Amino acid sequence: MTTSPSDKPKRFYKEAAAEQMPGGWTVTLDGRSIKTPARAALCLPSQRLARAIAAEWNDQGEAIDLVGMHLTRLANVAIDRTPEARDEMADELARYCETDLLCHLAEGPMELVEREEAYWRPVREWAGQELDILLVPVEGLLASPQPDASLEAARQVALDMDDFRLTGTLYACGLFGSALLALAVAEGQLSAADAFEVSRVDEAWQIEQWGEDDEAKAATEARRKEARALETWMRGLG
């Protein structure tokens, strides 16, 4: 369901700014610190991320589009939810590995399969060599059991992340449909923008064959915007 402008809260502040606080950085609205939905302090790990979130608030018009404020939403999750859900989130990342997009090759035509492998194989090989996450590709949509050692390695990589990076990585899993692409972004192997394009190799192929309607274009651009926000998030973490 689409939210109409009248359903959005009205802007109640003039200016958002990044300010230092004990233990990190925060964002203030007209000098008052933002709180998370759970009423915790919005304590951020870097000035760069605080400035990016402040810019997100400053970019709002007369109404506040909370759904489109991706950085603020990620920060709220990282502070309110992630500390208590780290094990569950690590398990979720491992489950993405079990059905990872980069392991599901098309049954044909060969030109599409070759294009998939040109983009996907290097990421699979990187994950195997650098993270010990060696996943087995298959043809078609049916998943093949992945090595238990690889799933455990993925889980451990997730647990080794801090709350903010783990939050962004799980968000990336859903955006890309791929734990391997999410981890490549988290580890600085790929930009989020490039990872997004890699995730839509099949989609781009179909567009080349059949074209794309306006609704599909709008949906793709919305997801590109999410990828750009994710890139800002990861860069803000250093």
- Report the candidate in 97, 175, 188, 162 with the shortest Cα–Cα distance to residue 136: 97
User: Residue 11 phi/psi, 5° resolution?
Assistant: -65, 130
Q: Which domains does the chain have, with CATH numbers?
A: 11-80 (3.30.2180.10), 85-237 (1.10.3580.10)
Q: What is the pLDDT of residues 99-143, one digit of tens each?
A: 999 999 998 899 999 999 999 999 999 999 999 999 999 987 777
DSSP code for 35: B
DSSP code for 103: G
Full-model pTM: 0.93
- Report the candidate in 121, 110, 229 with the shortest Cα–Cα distance to residue 184: 121
Q: What is the pLDDT of residues 61-74, one digit of tens each?
A: 999 999 999 999 99
The helix or strand, by DSSP H or E, that contains position 195, with its residue range, turns out to be helix 192-199
Q: For residue 88, what are its two tokens?
A: 């569950």
